[in-house]
């Protein structure tokens, strides 16, 4: 098996509402649920299209164009999902994944790989080795949502709410 290849459509948009789990504070009394996605794609057009599509579907997206920028982002924070092109300048997807595995191994189950090189033996072997989910370019944006849902189902994505200072209890 070459990982999981997603190739079907979401039946409805009801699944989108269930995909919100990151908690951030807007003020001391309200909470907003969002998910953060790191997107690594060197094609400016595809990067922009994916970022816009995910934003419309209630995801917060940090978009970068190569693995080096991706590592900088991962060092700053964790992400609920990482969508990673396999062939990029400076640091390709497999090397980015291995770097993340060394620094923050808990993020490795949150990867969705995208590639236009389905016949490249190096890519096939890598995806097989990490048992990754891969979308083959060109893909439908709905397939991307299905892949995100698949990662969410197989990976417990627990993010702690921001911590606030507790006031000392009166005795």
Domain contains 76: yes
- Residue 73 belongs to a domain: yes
- Does residue 143 sit within a domain? yes
Question: Cα–Cα distance between 116 and 8 in angstroms, integer?
Answer: 18
| 75: CATH | 3.40.50.2300
Q: Is residue 69 part of a domain?
A: yes
User: Per the domain annotation, does 122 fall within a domain?
Assistant: yes
Task: Evaluate whether residue 109 is within a structural domain.
Answer: yes
Strands 31-40, 22-25: parallel, antiparallel or unpaired by DSSP? antiparallel
Q: Would 167 be classed as within a structural domain? A: no
pTM of the predicted structure, to 2 decimals = 0.74
Q: What domain range is 72 assigned to?
A: 4-9+35-154
Q: What is the pLDDT along the chain (171 residues), one digit of tens a residue?
A: 344 444 333 333 233 333 334 444 343 333 456 899 999 999 999 999 999 999 999 999 999 999 999 999 999 999 999 999 999 999 999 999 999 999 999 999 999 999 999 899 999 999 999 998 999 999 999 999 999 999 988 876 655 433 344 444 544
DSSP-assigned letters across all residues of 69-82: HHHHHHHH---SEE
In a domain? residue 92: yes
Give just the sign of the alpha carbon dihedral 135, 136, 138, 140.
negative
Q: Are 80 and 37 in contact (CB under 8 A)?
A: yes
**What total number of domains does the chain contain?**
1
- The two structure tokens encoding residue 41: 């794609």
């Amino acid at each position: 098996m070459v990982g999981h290849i997603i190739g079907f459509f979401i039946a409805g948009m009801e699944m989108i509402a269930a995909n919100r789990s990151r908690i951030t504070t807007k003020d001391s009394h309200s909470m907003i649920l969002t998910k953060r996605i790191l997107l690594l794609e060197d094609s400016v057009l595809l990067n922009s299209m994916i970022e816009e599509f995910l934003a419309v579907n209630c995801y917060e997206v940090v978009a970068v164009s190569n693995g080096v920028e991706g590592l900088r982002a991962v060092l700053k924070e964790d992400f609920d999902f990482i969508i990673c092109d396999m062939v990029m300048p400076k640091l390709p997807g497999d090397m980015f994944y291995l770097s993340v595995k060394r620094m923050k191994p808990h993020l490795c189950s949150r990867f969705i790989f995208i590639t236009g090189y389905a016949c490249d033996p190096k890519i096939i072997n890598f995806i097989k080795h990490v048992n990754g989910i891969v979308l083959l370019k060109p893909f439908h944006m709905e397939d991307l949502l299905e892949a995100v849902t698949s990662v969410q189902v197989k990976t417990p994505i627990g993010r702690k709410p921001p911590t606030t200072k507790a006031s000392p209890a009166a005795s």
